[in-house]
Amino acid sequence: MLLFYLDYTLGVTPKTKSTAVARKKTGHKGERTRESILRAAVDLASLEGLEGLTIGRLASELEMSKSGLFAHFGSKQDLQLATVEMASEIFKDKVVLPALAEPKGMPRLLALCERWLSHVENKVFPGGCFFTAASFEFDSRPGPVRSAIVKAMSMWLSTLTRAIEEAQDIGHLSRDVKANQLALEIYSMAVGGHWASQLLGQRTALANARQTIRTRLNSICVAEQRAR
């Protein structure tokens, strides 16, 4: 768990073998092109799903030749894995690293929750939370893509858990609650808000999720922290 947290703190995301090989082959110019392609792939997958993300579909979206994309990705699975990795980088840059710049304890924990919900409201990914959708899409599909999604979500839960543990160590939160259990509660409340917002079109869903999370955290704050 600590390793995941340090990965985010240091801005390090493990690279897949296929990604490392592709970057070695393409060089700096090719890498910039590849990143632009992957940004489009992330947006497309957030709207249409990872399973529907193929080299042919992406080529059509970008008005590129399939052979041009094959120079960057040798297969559909390579493209999907690289897209998950790019989504992880975006999530890290937009949500995790700015929140980890906040002081340890409640400020950092609240920032993680707030930035998580805000990135959905601000359409960082046009289809909502990339990993919420991908998690449901691949939860029963074994294979490398599912494993990559599991790894990313485990990192996020570990980051939340570590932030909770820090808040407990500092004395902001009660130790009566297990940190990993509370992290899962927070995750569940946020995902519920995302579901109601995206599927049911409830405009207040994310605001309600934000308030529910704050109420839950406030219920286990020590008295001095609650007063603030």
Q: Specify whether the CB–CB gap between 77 and 144 falls below 8 A.
A: yes
CA angle 139, 145, 151 (to 5 degrees): 75
Q: What is the pLDDT of residue 4?
A: 45
Number of domains in the chain: 1
Residue 181: pLDDT band with limits 50, 70, 90: very high
Residue 24: pLDDT band with limits 50, 70, 90: low
Between CA 200 and CA 205 the distance in angstroms is 9
| Residue 22: how many other CB atoms lie within 10 Å | 20
Q: Which tokens is 9 given?
A: 């703190």
- Range in 13-27, 46-60, 154-168 the model is least confident about: 13-27
pLDDT of residue 13 exceeding 80, the answer is no
- pTM of the predicted structure, to 2 decimals: 0.84
| Residue 209: how many other CB atoms lie within 10 Å | 25
Q: What is the pLDDT of residue 70?
A: 83
Alpha carbon of 83 to those of 57, 78, 86, 179: distances in Å? 14, 8, 5, 31
Residue by residue, DSSP assigns 41-67 as HHHHHHHH-STT--HHHHHHHHT--HH
Q: What is the mean pLDDT of the chain?
A: 87
Q: Which tokens is 28 given?
A: 């700096």
Mean pLDDT throughout 46-57?
92
Measured N-to-C along each axis, helices 179-198 and 144-170 cross at an angle, to the nearest 10 degrees, of: 120
- Range in 12-16, 163-167, 187-191 the model is least confident about: 12-16
pLDDT of residue 19 exceeding 70, the answer is no
Alpha carbon of 146 to those of 99, 131, 139: distances in Å? 27, 11, 7
CATH number, domain with residue 94: 1.10.357.10
Q: Which domain holds residue 162?
A: 2-227
Name residue 227's amino acid.
Answer: A
